[in-house]
Every structure is written in structure tokens, then in C-alpha cells.
Structure 1
Amino acid sequence: MTRILKTDNAFLLGTIGLCSFLALWTLLSLSGLVPRLFLPSPVEVAGRFIHLLSHRFADGTLLDHLWASMLRFAGGFGLAVLIGVPLGLLMGWFRLLDDIVTPLFDAVRFIAPIAWVPFAALWFGTGIGGPIMIIFAGAFPPCLINAYRGAKFVDPRLIEAARMLGTPDLRMISEVLLPSAVPSIIAGLRISAGLGWQSLVGAELIVASTGIGYMMVQGQGNVSTTTVMSGMIGIGIIGLVIDIVLRGAETAILRRRGLAT
């Protein structure tokens, strides 16, 4: 009962916050303090958003652009997971590999993903490779770091028991380190997905000829604030869906391991 009341209160407070924001936005738009061209009302933006769902703008509907962006995101994020998680686990187990990779990784991970844009443009132009590279640059570090931390904080008793049974290294990684590190890995994936999605939009603003970022640039060129804001809403919705999916996976895994109720 207490949990239900807390959930209801959180929903109510969230609704109040959203309604207050929309009311303030509407009043500011109607006040004339900011030209309507640059601050349209929520109703105008919602109308434009619905219009773009079925009408083409910049060579595609809003759904077409979102789909193109999601494909790029899937490529870059998937590559980051496939490389970052195994490498993090291996670094957590093999000290030599940790010593070899860590200095290079620490030097590269502080380069902002958007800083890779000129390099990606030189290599790939406006093709799919550039955005995927930039998404990878944003999503890779959290995948590796959280897998590494998960491997480092495995219960020593599990490792000792596996060693007593003569478990080889690769089997130790797959059957001891990986299961124990899963909660940390999933938490890292949530961070990684958020950074990757943000990096994608930044890349599409510069080095893409399709996608939601490209649509927003075209909207800016046409001085269509409603189009730009519709793109922002689409970005927020997709980002929220991605986080909800990963949050659900995290909760399910923690519950299965008896770490959440």
C-alpha cells in the first residue's frame, strides 16, 4: 500500500510539474515578450509534430528521420557494447591487458564525442559511417568502465571456489565474472545509451543527410521553429523509450538476483 501511494504521489507531482511548464510556456508565447516565430505555443508545436508524422519534410516524414537515426544509433551502440563489455571484463581479469589498455583508454575517453565530428567527416563524409563512429565514441567508455568495475568487485569467495575447481581463465570470465558483473554492466548500458543517443543527434546536425538532426537543421534553415521543436520532442520520446527498456531490464535482472523487490 505504501509503495502504491508513493507511486501515485510521484505521478501526481510529475503531472503538476509538466502542466506548470506547459502553462508557463503558453503564457510566455502569448505574452509577446518573445516573437511567436521563435517561441510558438505548445499547441502549434503539437500540431506541427502531428503534421510531420504523415507529411514529408527534408525528404522524409518525422518517422522516417527517426528511423534513420535509430538505425545509426543501433549500429554505434551495438558496436560499443560488443567491444566495450568483453574488453572491460578481460581488463578486470588480466592485469597485463589492463596495464596495456588503460593509459590509451584514459587519454581517449576524455575527448568529447562531438570533437570526433571533423575526423569522421573526413573519413566517411555524410554516409552512415561518420555518425556510427561518433555514437561509438560516446557510448564505448561507459560500457568498458562499468564492465571493468563489475569484474573488479566480484565476490572473492566465488573466484577462490572456481580456482579450487581448476576453472580455466576464459570459463572463469564467462561463468563467474560475467554473471556477477551483469548489474554493473546494465547500469553502464543506460549511461552509454544516453550518451550515444545525444552524440548521434550532435553528429546528424553536421555530418548526415537524413535523420532527426538533419531534419532540425533543415527546419532551422527554413526558420521553422515548430519543426525544430518537433524534432526535439521526437528525440526526447525515443531517448525516454530506450531508457525505460534498459531500466526494465536492470530491474528484472536485479530482482532475479534478489537485489531488488
Structure 2
Amino acid sequence: MEERPLYLTSTLLYGFAGLVVFFGVWFVLPTTGLVPVQFLPSPITVAERVATLTTNRFAGATLPAHIAYSFTRFISGFALAALIGIPLGLLMGWFRIVDEIAGPIFDGLRFIAPIAWVPFAALWFGTGIGGPIMIIFAGAFPPCVINAYRGARQVDPRLIEAAEMLGTSDMRMMTNILLPASVPSIVAGLRVAAGLGWQSLVGAELIVASTGVGFMMVQAQANVATSTVMSGMVAIGIVGLLIDIILRWGEAAIRRRRGLNA
């Protein structure tokens, strides 16, 4: 019982030490002139710029507004990927014919990097919301399908045999047995999908958007405003971390509820 608190304490100390080293090196490089301030502002300069951007507009909006635009696109693409990918993965895992029909197509498409869809998104949607959503979908869709498929294939055969003996229909089998048993794997897939979707969004906004954090960074780069570019990077990292923490918490809660190792 005493080992876990000690382990957590050492983990926190090591993490804190890593942050101190990281920010220390970052502070020293521009301060000593080893790297020009124009290309690497100090952490203090970036923090001040973040504070300024929370109230002052840049590229048509404040930083919180750009984050809101980005997050709206992310939620739309991520939700679409989950709503289509999870049922498809369960169907592929349960029905062999669906797996044989959809499997080869999915295996071919999932190796196409989300950023490769940018030209099509630009042609089809221009700078509207549809382009980024399409690219987020391309990034988040494969993990949703793969983990739902894996969860369906790993269901306890005894549960399936018992349901079959009772004459359970395929639809009830999926909703009452397959889906509940696959939830831990599905949630783990959603966490991966969220990370890939958020990364894909930023790449999309660099090219096919007129608002959002990525668009703000492009405008800042064109004006050689490095502190603004890095402010956008900080915002991207913090929001991505918060998304992962929420999904990680949900995954751990579900695993604890089911008596699995968190």
C-alpha cells in the first residue's frame, strides 16, 4: 500500500524536474543569444503574448475565439467518425460477410494520411467548415473502426453461446452483448482517435480554413510574429492535453467499473 504513493511522488518529482530542464533550456537559448529572439522568443515573451491574445484580436479573432472555432470543427469531425466508425467496426467484427466486403476498402483507405485529403477538401469545400471536418474524420475514423472491431472479436465466447442458446437475434446480440463487452476497447480507440483528429485539424487549418488556431499561426508566420506562432502551439498543446485527460479519465472509470486493471 505504501509503494503506490511513493511511486506517484517520484513520478511527480521527475515530471517537475523535466519541466524545469525544458523551460530552463528554452529560457537560456534566446536570453544568451545562442538563438535569435526573432526565431525563438523566451517563455516569458510567449506567456505575455498569450495573455495579450486573450483580449486582442489577431487574424480576425482573439485566441479563445480561434480555439472555439477549432474545437467546434474537431467535435463535429470526431463525433462523425465515432458515429460511423464504431457501428462499422462492430458489424465487421460480428458479421464475416461485412468484414470481407468492407475490410479491403478500409485497409486501403486507412493508410492514406489525413493531410493527403487536404487537396480534395480544398476543392470540395473551399475554406468552409466542411474541409477541416473531412480531414478530422479521416484521422479519427480508423482508430474507431479498429478498436470496435477488436472489441467485438474479443467478446467472451461463453456469452455468445449462451445468447445463441436462448435464441437471441443478431440485433439484440449486438446491442445487449457485443456493444457492452466492447466498451473498454471502444473508449481506448476514441482516445487515440481524438489525438489523431486534433492533430489532423491543425494541419487542415494551416491550409483550408479562414479561422481557427492553425489559421492564426499561418497569418503570424507570414508576419514573422514568432511569439504568436508559439502562442498557437501552446494553445494546441493545452487543449489536446485536456481532451486526452478527459478521455483517459473516462477510460479508467469504465475499466474500474468493469473490474479491469486501470
Residues 147-195 of structure 1: CA distance to partner in whole angstroms, max 9, x if unpaired?
0000001000000011011100011001111111111101100100000
Q: Say if 2:43 is the partner of 1:16.
A: no
Task: Give the structure-1-normalised TM-score.
Answer: 0.99
Residues 11-35 of structure 1: CA distance to partner in whole angstroms, max 9, x if unpaired?
1110100010000111111121211
- Counterpart of 1:184? 185
Q: Say if 2:151 is the partner of 1:150.
A: yes
Runs of 4+ in 1 over 4 A off after TM superposition: none
Give 1:2 shift.
Answer: 2.1
Deviates more, 1:193-202 or 1:26-35: 26-35
- Counterpart of 2:103? 102
Q: How many residues align?
A: 261
- Counterpart of 2:236? 235
| Equivalent AA in structure 1 for residue 253 of structure 2 | A
Residues 116-153 of structure 1: CA distance to partner in whole angstroms, max 9, x if unpaired?
00000000000000000000000000000000000001
- Counterpart of 1:117? 118
Deviates more, 1:25-34 or 1:110-119: 25-34
| Equivalent AA in structure 2 for residue 40 of structure 1 | P
- SS of the residue 1:54 aligns to: coil
- Counterpart of 2:92? 91
Q: 1:240-251 alignment to 2 at 5 Å?
A: 240-251=241-252
The whole-number CA distance in structure 2 between the counterparts of 1:3 and 1:219 is 46
Q: For structure 2, list consecutive stretches of 5 or more residues without a partner in the other structure.
A: none
Q: 1:14-53 alignment to 2 at 5 Å?
A: 14-53=15-54
| Equivalent AA in structure 1 for residue 255 of structure 2 | L
Q: For structure 1, list consecutive stretches of 5 or more residues without a partner in the other structure.
A: none
The whole-number CA distance in structure 1 between the counterparts of 2:243 and 2:252 is 14
The whole-number CA distance in structure 1 between the counterparts of 2:55 and 2:160 is 56
| Equivalent AA in structure 2 for residue 232 of structure 1 | M
Give 1:251 shift.
Answer: 0.4
Task: Give the structure-2-normalised TM-score.
Answer: 0.98
| Equivalent AA in structure 1 for residue 19 of structure 2 | L
Give 1:260 shift.
Answer: 2.8
Give 1:54 shift.
Answer: 1.1
Q: CA RMSD in A?
A: 0.7
